[in-house]
Amino acid sequence: MGMKRYLAKRVAHSFVVIYVVATTVFFAVRAIPGDPARMMLGGDASAEAISALRQEMGLNQPMYVQYFRWMAQIATGDLGNSIFTDQTVLARLAGVAEPTLSIAAIGMTIALLIALPAGIVSAVHQNQIEDYVATVVSFLGISMPGFWIGIILLITFADLWPVLPAFGYVSIGEGIVPWFQHVILPALAVGLPYGGILMRMTRSSMLEVLNEDYMRTARAKGLNSRLVLFKHGLQNALIPVVTIAGILLGVLVAGVVAVEIVFGIQGLGRLLIRSIERRDFPVIQGAVIVISFVFVFMNLFVDMLYTAINPKIAYGGRE
């Protein structure tokens, strides 16, 4: 199967996944107890006022009418307007997406920079002091939640040794240096636990590859040990690691809310939780669609990355 055909098929699958997610979230949010109109007007509002507001917002229409109307909006790229602020959902999401995506991207970069070297060293020196140290560190990272690491980082680098800003976020448009200073601590908080997960995956994958017959043959031929390790070993061991990393990046985007709260950052996760509390249906639906798009895009990107890592992998071979 050619690359273009495979890519077209994967894109079609992606649209189906996003459609299913959009449909599911549409009906799921309306199953949450609570009436947005009543929450906007307060508990003392009259039934007539609540009914009038529901009619104005279109909430009094049959469910299927609301559903098809919303699907028609999505088809044109319109996610609707926030019930509470009347601001477009796209504008609301754009205002909070940058900090969340920045934290997730830098956090995953930190995780990979830690996991790949540590995992390789741990596998090459199996059952030696290097392996034991890397294993202990990885388990510590896995066992500590991101918000707790964030609190420790705040105490260390914002209080005891105040070299970095403690709270808030500065847009990258205001300068690379202030942006990085504000994003590095929350990125470390989310990246260290995932670094532990990826380190264990890298170690396991490398150990499996190192014991393959072709690796023994390459070593027996007297090939350079580094060439054998990185060209023949790491190239094949990276495939499952990249797969997990792509999934974890999607998880990071959806799951940095606790770290955002610790560092006082208004991100996508906090907006989603606040919108659920207020029953702001359009914002909830839009946020979930954006998160699902990140998951789908990362899976597609990982598929494209496979052949860059190992050109022997053919697109049709995984179908």
Per residue, what are the HEC states of 157-172? HHHHCCCCCCCCCCCH
Cα–Cα distance for residue pair 89/109, rounded to 1 Å: 29
* Predicted confidence (pLDDT) per residue in 36-88, tens digit: 777 776 667 777 777 887 777 777 788 888 888 888 888 888 888 887 787 88
Cα–Cα distance for residue pair 82/222, rounded to 1 Å: 66
Between 75-89, 119-133, 169-183, 302-316, the lowest mean confidence (pLDDT) is in 302-316
Cα–Cα distance for residue pair 139/136, rounded to 1 Å: 5
pLDDT band at 179 (very low <50, low <70, confident <90, very high): very high
Give the global pTM: 0.77
Q: Percent helix, strand and coil across the chain, each rounded to 5?
A: 80, 0, 20
Q: How many CA atoms lie within 13 A of 94 on its CB side?
A: 6
Domain ranges across the chain: 3-75, 94-314
Question: Measured in whole angstroms, how far is the alpha carbon of residue 282 from the centre of its chain?
Answer: 21
- For residue 59, what are the CA distances in angstroms to 35, 62, 307? 9, 8, 49
CB atoms closer than 10 angstroms to residue 144: 15
For the chain, percent of residues with pLDDT exceeding 70: 87
Judge residue 149's burial from the number of C-beta atoms within 10 Å of its C-beta, 0-12 exposed, 13-18 middle, 19 or more buried: buried
DSSP state, 88? Answer: B
Reduced to 3 states (helix: H, G, I; strand: E, B; else coil), residue 76 is coil
Residue from 59, 55, 53, 30 nearest 40 by CA? 53
Reduced to 3 states (helix: H, G, I; strand: E, B; else coil), residue 314 is coil
Query: In the predicted model, is pLDDT for residue 183 greater than 60?
Result: yes
pLDDT band at 318 (very low <50, low <70, confident <90, very high): very low
Which of the following CATH numbers is that of domain 94-314: 1.10.3720.10, 1.10.10.60, 3.30.428.10, 3.90.1150.10?
A: 1.10.3720.10
Dig out the tokens for 181 from the structure: 């200073």
